[in-house]
Structure 1
Amino acid sequence: MIRNIVLGAASVAALTFASAASAADLPAYEPAPAVAAPVPSFSWTGPYIGIQGGYSWGDTNIGGIKPKGFVVGGYAGYNYQFDNSPVVVGIETDFNYADIDDKSGGVKAQTRWNGATRARLGYAFENFLVYGAGGIAYADRKVRVAGFGKDSKTAVGWTVGGGLEYAATDNVSVRADYRYADYGKDSFSFSGARGRADYSEHRVMAGVAYKFGW
């Protein structure tokens, strides 16, 4: 009986050793490497607010007067970029302090503020945005005639232009912008006499904006 017990124990040991040896010969299992989540590309969608400054030069029909000067102010708007598309649409408004004037022969024309509300349509190259813009322009207009006094109007016209914008970070962008504005003709009164004067301008602006998360 002891002999049978010894033989049984030996058989169990032999089977255990054989199983361990077979397991050692199997290839080791390695988990599949984790796939990194794709990094989302930059999106222009969201509201923004910025500051800007630039230079304006224009023309009138008043004796060769061509108003020119500096402009500084702020702008705010909202962009929407379509999913999986480079197309960006938006709306923007700005308001600026202006130091624009010119005079000739006792007549002076000047503008002390201006602004516009424009629709924008752009094409994005990742962090770069090329855009066109157009809409309503408005400005303060003053005309002074020596010896006859002065008169002022709030002129309303149209504007069109475009620019290039670069998103330096997810929240900060810089841009260069050109626009042309035509304010039409307004009637001015000087000591009972009346006259009509038109005004148009070209403007180049540079700005920096903060885009809020969306």
Structure 2
Amino acid sequence: TSVIALISASAAQAADVIVPHEVAPTVISAPAFSWTGFYIGGQVGNFSSKVEITDPNKKDKLFSKDDTPKPSGFMGGIYAGSNMSLGNNMILGVETDAVWADREDAKTSSAKVIREDELANFKDSLKNANAVFAKDKTMDDVKQDEKHTDSLALKEKWSGATRVRIGFTAADRIMPYVAGGVSYAQVQAVSSTKVTQAADDAEIASAQLFDKTKTLVGFTLGGGVDFAMTDNVLLRAEYRYSDFGKEKFEKDGSELSYKTNDFRV
């Protein structure tokens, strides 16, 4: 009888035991990064240029590749824009930027013979440029078959663009994109010439033909990747090709074609 009572008491106590259930902790997901809205930033980079100088009538290049100045080097500037979502991880944006380079390159061509058919125009150029003549030399000493050496210096003062960007949010904080739009640049050109005697290379005259600054307008294409380092800080890497079109620095003069390739962060 005593044994049965003990067993019954133990069974009664076991019926009162409550086994607690573990409750899974609530997981709060961080909100996805938003690429939409206004932004502003700074940029630095390096650029190289391709320049061609041609006769607009004959389409001939007036300077060889080696004799053509090609500004290149460091640049820095700012940009600002705004993005909106197109859905399906697509982002559409508009952006404008400006960079300052102030880089110059100068080249001097090899000596060329003054031809009979260009002598009159050549003398007019010297006269209009107020040429400086060597001692005991005058315009009459500038003759057919004498030589002239031409120098040209080009400087890109600043450039910029207004572009449309289309991006794809491949990951939460990474957005590759392509971009294209209108590009513009301010370029200074300084041209000079020196006339020498064919017999002994003695100087006859020298002149600065022009020193002019023009704003060129063309198009730009490129692509890059934006990285969201924090909610408010982005890091960008970008390649850009720009064709600034052609411009005459003198009326009825040669045409200058200016193109650049650059990498920016």
Q: Same fold (TM over 0.5)?
A: yes
Cα distance in 1 for residues equivalent to 2:86 and 2:52:
44
Task: Measure how far apart 1:153 and its partner are.
Answer: 0.9
Indicate the larger mover: 36-45 or 71-80. Answer: 36-45
Task: Measure how far apart 1:99 and its partner are.
Answer: 2.3
- Match for 2:186 among 125, 129, 140? 140
Cα distance in 1 for residues equivalent to 2:85 and 2:252:
53
Aligned to 1:76: 80
Aligned to 1:181: 242
| 8 Å CA contact 1:43, 1:81 repeated in 2 | no
Q: Which runs of 4+ in 1 moved over 6 A?
A: 28-32
Task: Measure how far apart 1:34 and its partner are.
Answer: 6.7
Task: Measure how far apart 1:136 and its partner are.
Answer: 0.4
Indicate the larger mover: 96-105 or 113-122. Answer: 96-105
Mapping for residues 54-203 of structure 1, pairs under 5 Å:
54-62=45-53, 63=63, 64-83=68-87, 85-105=88-108, 106-124=151-169, 125-146=171-192, 147-189=208-250, 194-203=253-262
Cα distance in 1 for residues equivalent to 2:209 and 2:241:
32
- 1:182-205 superposed Cα distances (whole Å, 9 cap, x missing partner): 01110112xx76221110010111
Cα distance in 2 for residues equivalent to 1:101 and 1:200:
15
Gaps in structure 1 of 5+ consecutive residues: 1-20, 207-214
Task: Measure how far apart 1:82 and its partner are.
Answer: 4.0
Instruction: Provide the aligned length of Structure 1 versus Structure 2.
Output: 182
| 8 Å CA contact 1:77, 1:90 repeated in 2 | yes
Cα distance in 2 for residues equivalent to 1:174 and 1:77:
15
1:55 partner letter: N
Question: How much identity, in percent, do the aligned residues show?
Answer: 37
Cα distance in 1 for residues equivalent to 2:20 and 2:263:
65
Task: Measure how far apart 1:56 and its partner are.
Answer: 0.9
Cα distance in 2 for residues equivalent to 1:34 and 1:107:
74
2:187 partner letter: R
2:182 partner letter: I
Larger strand percent:
1
Mapping for residues 4-23 of structure 1, pairs under 5 Å:
none
- 1:121-143 superposed Cα distances (whole Å, 9 cap, x missing partner): 11111111111000000110111
Cα distance in 1 for residues equivalent to 2:71 and 2:23:
71
Cα distance in 2 for residues equivalent to 1:33 and 1:148:
83
SS at match of 1:194: coil
SS at match of 2:153: strand
Cα distance in 2 for residues equivalent to 1:30 and 1:82:
46
- 1:157-200 superposed Cα distances (whole Å, 9 cap, x missing partner): 000000111100011010111100001110112xx762211100
Cα distance in 1 for residues equivalent to 2:30 and 2:76:
38
- 1:55-74 superposed Cα distances (whole Å, 9 cap, x missing partner): 11011113222221221100
| 8 Å CA contact 1:69, 1:99 repeated in 2 | no
Gaps in structure 2 of 5+ consecutive residues: 1-11, 54-62, 109-150, 193-207
SS at match of 1:67: coil
1:38 equivalenced with 2:29 (yes/no): yes
- Match for 1:50 among 11, 28, 41? 41
Aligned to 1:12: none
